[in-house]
């Protein structure tokens, strides 16, 4: 995944969520995704439970961190 791909998925907007990195401009922060992963959810469980996430979102997050 290129840096440009990551930049298109992990976005930072000063007025949104106090400037925290978000997924695709949504109000879902990368911290929210981290909480899912650290709670023991695997990629498939995340995608099943959160239909607005994509596999690319997860990969971008992992590359961003």
pLDDT tens column, 3-61:
888 889 999 999 999 999 999 989 888 888 889 999 999 999 999 998 988 999 999 98
Rg (CA), the chain: 11
Q: Please report which helix (H) or strand (E) contains residue 43, including its range.
A: helix 43-49
pTM value is 0.78
Question: Which residue in 15, 48, 11 sits closest to 30, CA to CA?
Answer: 11
State which fold the 3-64 domain adopts. Answer: Arc Repressor Mutant, subunit A (1.10.10)
Paired tokens of 37? 């992963």
């Amino acid at each position: 995944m290129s840096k440009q791909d990551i930049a298109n998925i992990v976005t930072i907007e000063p007025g949104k969520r106090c400037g925290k990195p978000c997924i695709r401009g949504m109000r879902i922060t990368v911290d929210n995704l981290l909480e899912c992963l650290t709670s023991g959810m695997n990629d498939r469980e995340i995608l099943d439970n959160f239909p607005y996430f994509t596999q690319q979102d997860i990969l971008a997050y992992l590359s961003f961190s």
